[in-house]
């Protein structure tokens, strides 16, 4: 059996991505003046591990880039390279480049050669300028400045040859099952010649003649088994150093048996081997610290594909539906005093709900996933704009559905950039206004009911009402001075709207804010803005926690059942004749308190037969969609229930006025209404009807309405 190495690609990509994220976090936290050795080591290790994997999978460019980077980092952690802010910036740039390369490989492309050469030059330049060294030392071996320089020429070449080809490593696999072991041995055979192998499941040793360093081998095998299942030592190595390193786990019985044949090579190769040892000292630090962290972390989390999770969620959804079906059947049965059955049913209901909640929580990931990328954004944007900004994040542990966290990143980045650019003033201006020079940007997340609230708060100048209004007039938007602050603030979401005096490369082109709003609405959320002149602006995003289940209100029109998203429902009432007004032909508005709301008759928009057409007999549900309110006319309110959202597009297509479907307790399908879509639909219908007026009851109404200005109904 031969397993294709490409099967491990995905694992590598995922791990590399995490390593890069770690790297970035450490780089950002790094104190330039007094770098923490642990952090430098962590950054180095990340680069090193990626290099190892890249080498194995033949990702040349990635390997070369990480190699240069790693060498530079090596000098840094040894204190030979003094860090500066611009060097850290270069490191961050390199990290971005690595991400790009990784993406390219993941998509089966070759990375951008030009960018690769540029970053290599930059790294080389730093090395030359700062430490006067070329980085292109050995391509595979770690730099060895002290590598046997005193040895006579011929011998040293021989030593190199020995170290390159003749060096033997004993790789011990601990507690590895037979299937994995076969794979690993095959994997090892790719890296060098397998000289000997043997042992049992608890400890299986493979002696390998290879030029690959021990930690590279470890890096490769870590994609299949865990780091603490591998022990690597080179044969003919200094025993003392070895026992120190490995003794904790390995009994001396297993100590290497130096073969006589190795002796001659030992003196020559020993030096190189020791050198390698020094390199793996970094790896030694890893096995020492990692097992502790890992043994804790391993049992608490596993990596599972989203597909599997979604499958479970779907199945649980089915279970819930089956349970409600059963419930309905039982309630219709004459069970009378059959307490056991009723008890069982209520227990089943509770368990099913608990199960559903537990399963849904699998998809939830903390907002830290989103927030953790903002230190970088803020640092760079602030640098470009010459502003001093402190970023505070709150509520990082607040959880949100994974699909939503991924989709919120772009809009949120845009809002943050916007706040930095337009919100927070330059340091001098702030000082003049009596505020601290350093601006403050707060990113916060919290749960409220079934929603998550994400806020971007700045302590900048706030929005300028007059400027927004005058700009809106310039753009030809319908505005008046009487508009409420809230309405004025919403203007910034109008397409092509920008109040920036000059366009910077950060923001101000007027594209974007409307996209932000659309994206958030696409996720079933909305945006609110609060602003006070001189004190700052708060932009609040309200999102549902998940798109997979929905709190719905079931309504009946004719004999058909529909679901309205409960979050959109404000109130419901029986419309009184006096509150209904006909407008401009066949439009009808409903007066609710001081507001006139457009009336959307569901039966009309969706052609439902046998629905109530007498307006005063229907029920008006006041709903909100995309910031506007409508009065939906329905026949009956049935009740509230949580429904599992099912996509209509999977097997069919998008239906106007309908956002999705769900399955009711009786097993039938009900459509979930899309409020704004419904309104559009009903308008389009009226539009189409206009040329051939006269057939519909509303037509009659409006004629009558003209005479007495109050709405009479007829059917």
Binding region for another protein (CB under 8 A): 314, 317-318, 321, 560, 605-608, 646-658, 661, 663, 667-671, 681
Sheet of strand 636-644, all strands in order from the earlier edge strand to the far edge: 636-644, 549-557, 560-565, 669-673, 658-663
C-alpha distances (whole Å) from 68 to each of 26, 57, 115 are 19, 18, 14
CA gap 268, 620 in Å, rounded:
92
Nearer to another protein, 81 or 661 (CB): 661
Nearer to another protein, 526 or 612 (CB): 612
Nearer to another protein, 88 or 648 (CB): 648
The CB-of-673 to another protein minimum distance in angstroms stands at 10
Integer distance in angstroms from the first to the last C-alpha of the chain? 77
Nearer to another protein, 87 or 655 (CB): 655
The CB-of-34 to another protein minimum distance in angstroms stands at 56
Contacts of 435 (CB under 8 A, 6+ apart): 425, 459
Rg (CA), the chain: 34
Q: What length does the chain have?
A: 715
Contacts of 74 (CB under 8 A, 6+ apart): 44, 142, 143
Nearer to another protein, 170 or 671 (CB): 671
The CB-of-669 to another protein minimum distance in angstroms stands at 4
Torsions phi, psi for 282 (to 5 deg): -65, -40
The CB-of-665 to another protein minimum distance in angstroms stands at 11
Nearer to another protein, 270 or 317 (CB): 317
The CB-of-681 to another protein minimum distance in angstroms stands at 7
Q: Which residue has the tokens 């595979």?
A: 140
The CB-of-613 to another protein minimum distance in angstroms stands at 16
Q: Identify any residues that bridge with 622 across adjacent strands, giving them in sequence order.
A: 571, 631
The CB-of-400 to another protein minimum distance in angstroms stands at 25
The CB-of-647 to another protein minimum distance in angstroms stands at 7
Alpha helix positions (H), 512-583: 513-522
Sheet of strand 619-625, all strands in order from the earlier edge strand to the far edge: 569-573, 619-625, 628-634, 595-601, 587-592, 580-583
The CB-of-675 to another protein minimum distance in angstroms stands at 15
CA gap 220, 190 in Å, rounded:
11
CA atoms within 13 A on the CB side of 9: 14
CA gap 434, 408 in Å, rounded:
35
Q: Which residue has the tokens 């170290």?
A: 163
The CB-of-611 to another protein minimum distance in angstroms stands at 12
Long-range Cβ contacts of 437-442 (<8 Å, 24+ apart): 437/388, 438/388, 438/389, 438/390, 439/387, 439/388, 439/389, 439/390, 440/389, 440/390, 440/392, 441/378, 441/389, 441/390, 441/391, 441/392, 441/416, 442/391, 442/392, 442/393, 442/394
The CB-of-7 to another protein minimum distance in angstroms stands at 24
The CB-of-310 to another protein minimum distance in angstroms stands at 12
- For 199, other C-beta atoms within 10 Å of its C-beta total 14
Helices 513-522/402-418 angle, 10° precision: 160
- Using the Cα atoms of residue 98, residue 100, residue 106 and residue 109 in order, give the sign of their dihedral: negative
Nearer to another protein, 224 or 608 (CB): 608
The CB-of-674 to another protein minimum distance in angstroms stands at 12
The CB-of-692 to another protein minimum distance in angstroms stands at 18
DSSP calls for 176-208: --HHHHHHHHHHHHHHSEEEEEEE-SSEEEEEE
Nearer to another protein, 168 or 324 (CB): 324
Residue (of 268, 282, 271, 310) closest to 219 by Cα position = 282
The CB-of-601 to another protein minimum distance in angstroms stands at 13
CA gap 678, 607 in Å, rounded:
12
The CB-of-713 to another protein minimum distance in angstroms stands at 23
Q: What is the DSSP letter of 449?
A: T
CA gap 235, 220 in Å, rounded:
20
DSSP calls for 215-280: HHHHHHHTTTS-GGGEEEEETT--HHHHHHHHTTTS-GGG-----TTHHHHHHHHHHHHHHHHHHH
3-state secondary structure at position 373: coil
- For 16, other C-beta atoms within 10 Å of its C-beta total 25
């Amino acid at each position: 059996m031969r397993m294709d190495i490409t099967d491990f690609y995905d694992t590598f990509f995922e791990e590399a991505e995490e390593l890069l994220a770690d790297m970035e976090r450490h780089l950002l936290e790094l104190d330039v003046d007094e770098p923490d050795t642990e952090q430098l080591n962590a950054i180095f290790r990340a680069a090193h591990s990626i290099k190892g994997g890249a080498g194995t999978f033949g990702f040349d460019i990635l390997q070369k880039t990480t190699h240069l980077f790693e060498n530079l980092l090596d000098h840094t952690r040894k204190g030979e390279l003094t860090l500066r802010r611009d060097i850290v910036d270069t490191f961050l740039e390199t990290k971005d480049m690595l991400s790009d390369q990784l993406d390219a490989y993941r998509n089966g492309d070759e990375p951008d050669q030009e960018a690769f050469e540029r970053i290599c030059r930059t790294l080389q330049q730093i090395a030359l300028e700062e430490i006067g060294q070329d980085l292109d030392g050995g391509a595979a071996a770690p730099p060895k400045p002290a590598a046997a320089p005193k040895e006579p020429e011929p011998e040293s070449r021989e030593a190199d040859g020995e170290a390159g080809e003749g060096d033997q490593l004993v790789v011990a696999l601990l507690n590895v099952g037979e299937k994995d072991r076969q794979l690993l041995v095959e994997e090892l055979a790719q890296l060098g010649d397998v000289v000997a192998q043997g042992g049992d499941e608890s400890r299986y040793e493979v002696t390998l003649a290879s030029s690959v360093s021990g930690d590279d081998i470890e890096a490769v095998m870590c994609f299949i088994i865990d780091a603490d299942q591998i022990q690597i030592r080179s044969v003919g190595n200094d025993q003392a150093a070895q026992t120190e390193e490995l003794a904790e786990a390995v009994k001396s019985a297993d100590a290497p048996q130096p073969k006589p044949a190795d002796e001659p090579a030992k003196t020559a190769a020993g030096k190189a081997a020791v050198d390698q040892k020094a390199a793996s000292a970094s790896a030694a630090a890893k096995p020492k610290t990692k097992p502790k962290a890992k043994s804790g972390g391993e049992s608490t989390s596993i990596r599972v594909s989203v597909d599997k999770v979604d499958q479970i969620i779907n199945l649980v959804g089915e279970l819930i539906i089956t349970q409600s079906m059963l419930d309905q059947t039982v309630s219709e049965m004459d069970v009378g005093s059959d307490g056991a059955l009723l008890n069982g049913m209520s227990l089943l209901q509770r368990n099913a709900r608990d199960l559903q909640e537990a399963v849904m929580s699998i998809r939830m990931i903390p907002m830290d996933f989103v927030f953790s990328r903002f230190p970088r954004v803020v640092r760079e944007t602030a640098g470009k704009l010459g502003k001093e900004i402190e970023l505070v994040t709150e509520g990082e542990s607040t959880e949100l559905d994974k699909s939503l966290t991924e989709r919120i990143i772009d809009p949120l980045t845009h809002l943050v950039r916007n706040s930095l650019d337009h919100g927070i003033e330059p340091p001098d201006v702030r000082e003049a206004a009596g505020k601290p020079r350093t601006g403050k940007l707060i990113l916060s997340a919290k749960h409220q009911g079934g929603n998550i609230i994400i806020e971007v708060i700045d302590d900048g100048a706030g929005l300028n009402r007059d400027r927004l209004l005058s700009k809106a007039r310039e753009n030809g938007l319908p505005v008046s001075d009487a508009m409420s602050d809230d309405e004025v603030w919403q203007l910034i979401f109008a397409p092509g709207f920008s109040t920036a005096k000059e366009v910077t490369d950060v923001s101000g082109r007027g594209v974007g804010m409307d996209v932000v709003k659309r994206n958030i609405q696409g996720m079933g959320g909305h945006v609110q803005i609060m602003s006070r002149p001189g004190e700052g602006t708060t932009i609040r995003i309200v999102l549902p926690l998940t798109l997979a289940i929905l709190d719905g209100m079931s309504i009946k029109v004719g004999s058909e059942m529909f679901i309205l998203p409960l979050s959109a429902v404000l109130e419901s009432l029986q419309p009184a004749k006096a509150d209904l007004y006909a407008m401009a032909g066949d439009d009808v508005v409903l007066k609710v308190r001081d507001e006139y709301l457009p009336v959307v008759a569901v039966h009309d928009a969706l052609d439902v037969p046998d629905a109530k057409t007498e307006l005063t007999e229907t029920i008006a549900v006041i709903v909100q969609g995309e910031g506007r309110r409508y009065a939906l006319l329905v026949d009956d309110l049935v009740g509230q229930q949580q429904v599992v959202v099912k996509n209509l597009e999977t097997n069919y297509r998008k239906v106007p006025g309908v956002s999705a479907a769900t399955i009711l307790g009786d097993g039938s399908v009900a459509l979930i209404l899309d409020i704004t879509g419904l309104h559009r639909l009903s308008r389009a219908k009226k539009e189409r009807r206009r040329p051939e007026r006269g057939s519909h009851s509303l037509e009659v109404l409006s004629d009558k309405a003209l005479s007495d200005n109050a709405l009479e109904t007829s059917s």
